[in-house]
Structure 1
Amino acid sequence: MDTATQSGMQQSAVRLSDCIQLMQADLVHANPTPENLGHPVSDVLMYDPLDTWSSVDDRIILAVGCTYGSPDFDQLLHRAANSNAAAVIVKAHGARMEQLRSAAVRHTLSVLVAPDDADWTQLVALARASVMGAAADSVSGVRLGDLYAFANAAASITNGAASIVDPLGRILGYSTLPGQPIDELRRITTLTLQETIQPAFDQDFKAVYAAPGAVLVPALDDGMARLALAVRAGGELLGSIWIIDPGEEKRATALDALDRMAPLAGLHMLHARSASDFGERRNADLIRTLMDDTPHASFAAAQLGLDTANGLAVAAFSIVRPETGSLESVREIHRLLHLVTTVCNVQFGSGHSALIGSVVYALLPGNGPSPRALHARIIQEIEAYSHTISSFPVIATVGGIAATIGELPRSRSEAMRTLHHLLNLQARQGKSPGNNKVPGVALFEDFQVPLDLLRIGEFIEDNGLAGADEISRIQARDAEQQTEYLETLRAYLAFNGNISTMAAQLHVHNNTVRYRVARLAEDFNLDLADPQKRLWLWLRVTTMELAAK
């Protein structure tokens, strides 16, 4: 670290208690006293016993690899105390708190104990950001990690609508102050929670990342100019803040305010990242429990705070990609999760959604006089905006309303069966472009008849009911002799034996149809006048056709 930077930190030194509060990293102070809590902090140091000892005055030292009772541990505390260090952060690794407290008191040094599973890289980033952030009080009072509240504070200070963006182009938070002008780009990105162009390919983002502080980004086309700032912590790029330009008279003040809030912005983004990762995992686990673990579903519903008075329906969303293992496919499915969450939040005031495997699930309340019409409108809206997150189509389906928590697995099954059916129809449409366009969204009841027939077909196959019946023998004859008896039988069943209609469908003469039907009856011993036989043949032909890939 250069001298100028050190000097700047010392001039804005903060108290140890401020840093502990801002880090919010589950640290336990082994020996808190008014004196050591008030110790000034200027920087953070990662300790390595093999390194040459340097000045640690007013620094927080992270004791990586040092355990209580080891020579390195005792040497570190002794040297840190003699060099006026602000504190030492250690991990207990089996040591009792009384032992650590005794060592801290003996050396008259603040010892902070981190959880054994804490990530040292995350701790050092939080510690460094807290040192810088504690000196920036322009947005104090905002709960750490609440990026929407932070964006509102930034918008209020700079007089321009604010958005906070991560390096992948995801919108992590945006301001909602009334009266501040926005443009179409801002409107789209806050709805989809995603930039229209990835930062890696956007020249404006590259310019902002390369700048040492806040900069003016000129307007393009009919849009509005922006003030923007890259946000970093410990040298890591966390994202950027974008402010709608408040105008020439207020611009200089706004740019200065952005620069001053940069350290605290980094601290907020670090906390938000940790909270977001934990929140997404927790949501996924709880929603998976709702749909897969009926005995514990009520507990999961209570943890999620679900309102089940009017029932719930499971919605399923998937991106139709030829491959799903690439980095871009992972990014796109997370963008879809954010899009689904945003639309549900806007519609219901809360959103319960999760990414499980490669499918995004959402729980839709059954409120209102026409809940199914509302469900259809929501998935149509999500599909309509899906082009902003992926160039590939999105399939969206909703299972039936579950009146109780115990019925949610059935709703999920219906949503997934509908989704797979639409995927199959789209794949078949691709092979036969002349067919009618297959919808990308559907409620379960839109396809309930074919879906129920598919289950009947599965039952027939799973229980060996087909065996070597007439259909199997007809298929074998057609394959062996290149005949078209199965197609003839399908037409016969579809048109109730009407010879003229069958001939038109098969593009052959009426006499040819009569000949084929006669041969069918004779060669395969089919009594087509028997209604039960016709029903069985129709079920076999229809379920086979529906299941065809």
Structure 2
Amino acid sequence: MDSQERDRSVSEHSAGTVRLADCIQFMQADLVHANPTPENLAHEVTDVLMYDPLDEWTNADNRIILAVGFAYGSADFDQLLHRAANSNAAAVIVKAHGAHIEQLRDAAVRHELAVLVAPGNADWTRLVALARASVVGAAADSVSGVRLGDLYAFANAVASMTDGAASIVDPLGRILGYSTLPGQPIDELRRVTTLALQESGAPAFDADFKAVYAAAEALYIPSTKEGVARLALAVRAGGELLGSIWIIEPGEGRQQAALETLNRMAPLAGLHMLHARSASDFGERRNGDLIRTLIDDPEHASFAAAQLGLDINQGLAVVALTIAQPQSGSLDAVREIHRLLHLVTTVCNVRFTTSHSALIGSVVYALFPCQGEEPRATQRRIVHEIAAYGHSISPHPLVAAVGSIARRIQDLPESRESASKTLQYLLGQLAQQVPDRDEKTSAVALFEDHRIPLGLLQVGKFMHERGLAGPDQLAAVQAYDADNQTDYVETLRAYLASNGSISSMAGTLNVHSNTVRYRVAQLANIFGIDLADSQKRLWLWLRLVTEDLGYQMNPQARRGK
């Protein structure tokens, strides 16, 4: 049959019939059709069946069968195709499991059955959700020109059809897409949530969200002090809650029509959200892998830069951002760090018209271009801007550090290292604050703001690794203090910090000048420290300063001593 006959055959089906071709298009799951005849593509689809060979055979008429655990050439596989063909099944989805597509095509032709081959790494749970959603979505009103998974375009389509500004929200309260049609009124709540890409409260504890999730159809939500009235719909696929759609109330006389429109679009919304989730997961993983390669693997950095379309002609700086969460593994911490990723992405898109950011572990890494005559001033201003929005995503301090400028792709690991070290230093500074007395605020800095303490930390690390910080006069003083409950280390620190000024030491230690003179003399008598020797003073000062900085970076170490 030629292409004209195929098109004519397909067109003979009524608009309300869901065809296998429609489902394949809506699933977009990289399925390979082993036997794409016009008859197979035009086969009606009414449902989806997960098949287990140990279960009794059930009615498969016009159903897509997902053959989990089946392999080409097995008796169970041949029996399944035979039963499916005799029962007028619409198609069988199977994984190749090493079989060649020609072998699967021969089997499909032999049984005159549509066989769809899924990738070996495909998730069956996702496939069955996509298949079920595609059957319902293909039968629903379509939204012309909207690519599946483009939730911003879909939100615009919803807003256009309901006459109200639309937002699409996931179960964690993240804004996945919102409409931008001109002329549609919005309120302050809508402005705040779209700016932060996050609802102001957790949906799990919000009465309106709970009501929407419990309803089978779209609901009218009356106005409150926080915002105007809204229409809302819970979006599901295969029984799984994917999120919700919220519409600013379109006005008197249009509520019922808007509610009906939302209900009609529910299946299609599920398809869009499923595809968006898959694309988002893939995109985040891909960005994470590419950015990790850029900042950790100089050998392959050029390839990653090409994939991301980076322009390094003017230089780039790696920025490290995180939230000083006391419980880094908690659900709240995970939710907040993802909010931070969305915030960084949004701000970068606005300020740089592009964004290269990814979540790696519990740190968001971003690449800031060097623009204008004063690029560092610009970068400082932007991280301060991100920090200013920090309160909207977490009650804990937001910490951000801008690394050194990389003039070549190969220099990005060095920029990342300087950003990470500065970030750890800032976190250590925050940890020094007394929780009940100091109000912890966001900490933002460029690498060069703390170049000296960071350099001293490197000196301390070198001394420790080379065994240079072993038993010496400072260690002897520390041991003596621990055994005798004395404060000679503090006396030594005050002496070195004040360049030997007795009056300054007295003020620092809050003791009489004679007491200071006595303690300094004891340092010489008990420990044999010659404070007149400049080299010894320098060495003791380096030991004290690097050790103190180390304790700041790791407060637990001081408590454990």
Give me the TM-score of the superposition, normalised by structure 2.
0.91
Work out the CA distance in 2 between the residues paired with 1:91 and 1:206.
39
> CA, structure 1 residues 52+513, in 2 after alignment: closer, same or farther (shift >3 Å)?
closer
Q: Does 1:423 pair with 2:427?
A: yes
What amino acid is aligned across from residue 470 of structure 2 in structure 1? G
2:227 pairs, out of 223, 230, 238, with 223
Residue 200 of structure 1 corresponds to which residue in structure 2?
204
Does structure 2 conserve the Cα–Cα contact (< 8 Å) formed by 1:13 and 1:131? Answer: no
Work out the CA distance in 2 between the residues paired with 1:317 and 1:336.
8
Residue 34 of structure 2 corresponds to which residue in structure 1?
30
What amino acid is aligned across from residue 340 of structure 1 in structure 2? V
Does structure 2 conserve the Cα–Cα contact (< 8 Å) formed by 1:192 and 1:385? Answer: yes
Work out the CA distance in 2 between the residues paired with 1:491 and 1:96.
78
Work out the CA distance in 1 between the residues paired with 2:173 and 2:436.
38
Secondary structure at the residue paired with 1:275? helix
Work out the CA distance in 2 between the residues paired with 1:421 and 1:480.
32
Q: Does 1:509 pair with 2:508?
A: no
Work out the CA distance in 1 between the residues paired with 2:68 and 2:540.
73
**Pairwise CA distance, 1:522:** 4.0
What amino acid is aligned across from residue 41 of structure 2 in structure 1? L
Work out the CA distance in 2 between the residues paired with 1:439 and 1:389.
12
Residue 473 of structure 2 corresponds to which residue in structure 1?
470
Residue 172 of structure 1 corresponds to which residue in structure 2?
176
Q: Does 1:211 pair with 2:248?
A: no
> CA, structure 1 residues 516+239, in 2 after alignment: closer, same or farther (shift >3 Å)?
same
Residue 329 of structure 1 corresponds to which residue in structure 2?
333
Secondary structure at the residue paired with 2:241? strand
What amino acid is aligned across from residue 260 of structure 2 in structure 1? D
Does structure 2 conserve the Cα–Cα contact (< 8 Å) formed by 1:216 and 1:228? Answer: yes
Work out the CA distance in 1 between the residues paired with 2:53 and 2:482.
78
Residue 527 of structure 1 corresponds to which residue in structure 2?
530
Work out the CA distance in 2 between the residues paired with 1:22 and 1:295.
40
Residue 6 of structure 1 corresponds to which residue in structure 2?
none
1:490 pairs, out of 469, 486, 493, with 493
Work out the CA distance in 1 between the residues paired with 2:96 and 2:530.
83
Compare 103-112 and 197-206 and name the one that shifted more.
103-112
Q: Does 1:145 pair with 2:149?
A: yes
**Pairwise CA distance, 1:108:** 2.2
What amino acid is aligned across from residue 415 of structure 2 in structure 1? S
What amino acid is aligned across from residue 32 of structure 2 in structure 1? V
Work out the CA distance in 1 between the residues paired with 2:417 and 2:73.
57
Q: Does 1:371 pair with 2:385?
A: no
What amino acid is aligned across from residue 166 of structure 1 in structure 2? D
Q: Does 1:103 pair with 2:111?
A: no
Matches within 5 A, 1:124-139: 124-139=128-143
**Pairwise CA distance, 1:433:** 4.5
The alignment yields a C-alpha RMSD, in angstroms, of: 2.2
Q: Does 1:269 pair with 2:273?
A: yes
> CA, structure 1 residues 518+15, in 2 after alignment: closer, same or farther (shift >3 Å)?
same
Q: Does 1:344 pair with 2:316?
A: no
Work out the CA distance in 2 between the residues paired with 1:438 and 1:213.
44
Residue 545 of structure 2 corresponds to which residue in structure 1?
542
Work out the CA distance in 1 between the residues paired with 2:127 and 2:424.
44
Secondary structure at the residue paired with 1:430? coil
Work out the CA distance in 2 between the residues paired with 1:335 and 1:235.
26
Residue 87 of structure 2 corresponds to which residue in structure 1?
83
**Pairwise CA distance, 1:23:** 0.8
Query: What's the CA shift string for 1:192-235, capped at 9, x where partnerless?
Result: 22211111111111111111111111121041211111111111
Does structure 1 conserve the Cα–Cα contact (< 8 Å) formed by 2:387 and 2:442? Answer: no
1:297 pairs, out of 301, 318, 327, with 301
What amino acid is aligned across from residue 516 of structure 1 in structure 2? R
Query: What's the CA shift string for 1:443-476, capped at 9, x where partnerless?
Result: 1111111111121122222222233332222222
> CA, structure 1 residues 525+106, in 2 after alignment: closer, same or farther (shift >3 Å)?
closer
**Pairwise CA distance, 1:325:** 2.4
Does structure 2 conserve the Cα–Cα contact (< 8 Å) formed by 1:422 and 1:438? Answer: no
Work out the CA distance in 1 between the residues paired with 2:414 and 2:34.
52
What amino acid is aligned across from residue 485 of structure 2 in structure 1? Q
What amino acid is aligned across from residue 379 of structure 1 in structure 2? V
Query: What's the CA shift string for 1:94-143, capped at 9, x where partnerless?
Result: 33322322222223222212223322221111111111112234413211
Aligned residues: 539
Is there any run of 5+ residues in structure 2 with no aligned partner, and where? 1-13, 556-561
Identity in percent = 71
Compare 515-524 and 114-123 and name the one that shifted more.
515-524
Work out the CA distance in 2 between the residues paired with 1:48 and 1:488.
78
Secondary structure at the residue paired with 1:75? helix
**Pairwise CA distance, 1:328:** 2.8
> CA, structure 1 residues 343+53, in 2 after alignment: closer, same or farther (shift >3 Å)?
same
Work out the CA distance in 1 between the residues paired with 2:85 and 2:468.
82
Secondary structure at the residue paired with 1:395? strand
Work out the CA distance in 1 between the residues paired with 2:144 and 2:440.
55
Residue 445 of structure 1 corresponds to which residue in structure 2?
448
Does structure 1 conserve the Cα–Cα contact (< 8 Å) formed by 2:397 and 2:440? Answer: no
**Pairwise CA distance, 1:538:** 2.1
Work out the CA distance in 1 between the residues paired with 2:70 and 2:250.
51
What amino acid is aligned across from residue 28 of structure 1 in structure 2? V
1:120 pairs, out of 121, 124, 128, with 124
Residue 48 of structure 1 corresponds to which residue in structure 2?
52
